[in-house]
Amino acid sequence: MHHQVFFALAAAFAALPLPAVAEVAASSESGFVSRNEVLVRATPEEAWNEMLEPANWWSGAHTYSGDSRFLVLRATVGGCFCEAIESSGDDPDGEVEHMRIIYMAPYSTLRMSGGLGPLQSEAVTGVLTMTLTPDGEMTRIGWDYVVGGYSRMPLAELAPLVDQVIREQLLRLAARLGTVMDPASRRP
């Protein structure tokens, strides 16, 4: 069953369009670094407030329940980025912790620890650092996801797939905030 879920997720990840600004900055059999950045027409305060509401922008395709409405992020150190799973048929109700907040500087930095998607069932540690930096009248949003440890699935092969999914979520957040700019060209 575990491998069926992995292959279904991998196929879904591979079907996503390749993002222009996403980057697997480093990769090996023991880990990888996914680096993504966007520029939005929003203040750091507006970006922060929206970032804390993943139910508004996280894709339901990348949840356990299939519905992002069940996502919650408790904005405090130790707070959970969690998802409620309602029963369907013979499956019981449940809950899943995607990540846990380990550092928080409002309107600037949110850092969470946890393995997303297929990484959760492996002996890896993932740390997602989300930064908000004023850039003129805009805000630069950067997400660095650093993953390392032991995995039955080759991490070097998972890196581009995870990077695509991380990038998709960042673009969905950015779209909620208004005009999304390419950080390099400063064009929509």
Residue 91 lies in a domain: no
Q: Where residue 21 sits, what CATH number does that domain have?
A: 3.30.530.20
User: What is the spatial distance between Cα 54 and Cα 48, in angstroms, rounded to a whole number?
Assistant: 11
Nearest to 35 by CA among 183, 139, 179: 183
Stated pTM of the model: 0.85
pLDDT value at 187 more than 90: no
Written in H, E and C, the secondary structure of 49-94 is HHHCCHHHCCCHHHCCCCCHHHEEECCCCCCEEEEEECCCCCCCCE
Domain total for the chain? 1
pLDDT value at 3 more than 70: no
Q: What radius of gyration do the chain's Cα atoms show?
A: 16
Of 97-101, 127-131, 133-137, 184-188, the range with the lowest mean pLDDT is 184-188
Residue predicted with more confidence, 135 or 13: 135
Handedness of CA 129, 123, 11, 81 (dihedral sign): negative
Of the CA atoms within 13 Å of residue 35, those in its CB half-sphere come to 7
Residue 12 lies in a domain: yes
Residue 20 lies in a domain: yes
* pLDDT tens string 40-94: 999 999 999 999 999 999 999 999 999 999 999 999 999 999 999 987 766 668 9
Residue 81 lies in a domain: no
- Residue-number span of the structural domain to which 167 is assigned: 2-59+101-181
* pLDDT tens string 8-31: 444 443 333 333 366 898 999 999
* pLDDT tens string 163-181: 999 999 999 999 999 877 6
Residue 17 lies in a domain: yes
Residue 130 lies in a domain: yes
Residue 148 lies in a domain: yes
Give the pLDDT confidence score for residue 15 in this predicted structure: 38
Measure Cα distances from 22 to 33, 40, 108, 159, 183 in Å: 11, 16, 21, 11, 11
Give the pLDDT confidence score for residue 10 in this predicted structure: 41
Give the pLDDT confidence score for residue 188 in this predicted structure: 67
Residue 47 lies in a domain: yes
Strands 80-85 and 94-105: antiparallel
Burial class (CB in 10 A: 0-12, 13-18, 19+), 173: buried
* pLDDT tens string 136-172: 999 999 999 999 999 999 999 999 999 999 999 999 9
Give the pLDDT confidence score for residue 98 in this predicted structure: 97
Give the pLDDT confidence score for residue 87 in this predicted structure: 74
